[in-house]
Amino acid sequence: MKNLTLSFVAAFLLMTLTSCSVVETAFDAGMYWAFFLVAAVIAVVIWLLTKNRGN
């Protein structure tokens, strides 16, 4: 009985969550993470340039 319920839940999730929506969510999260990393690298470069300019 437990396997039957698990099978129904798995089938329901497979029908409602398409692979496109899962991939889209993963790419959205990756895109925001990339924006954060690029902004952090730019901030570090600017900080290093201003630090060296003072010497």
The sign of the CA dihedral 8, 14, 15, 21 is positive
pLDDT for res 26: 75
pLDDT for res 41: 96
Q: Which residue has the tokens 């924006």?
A: 35
pLDDT digits (tens, 9 = 90+) for 7-51: 887 777 777 766 677 677 778 888 888 999 999 999 999 999 999
**Residue 2 pLDDT exceeds 70:** no
Total of domains in the chain: 1
pLDDT for res 10: 77
Phi-psi category of residue 17: left, alpha or beta, with phi > 0 → left and psi -120 to 50 → alpha: beta
Confirm whether 14 is domain-assigned. Answer: no
pLDDT for res 1: 58
Confirm whether 9 is domain-assigned. Answer: no
> What range does the domain containing 35 cover?
23-55
Estimate to the nearest angstrom the gap between the alpha carbon of 13 and the chain centroid.
21
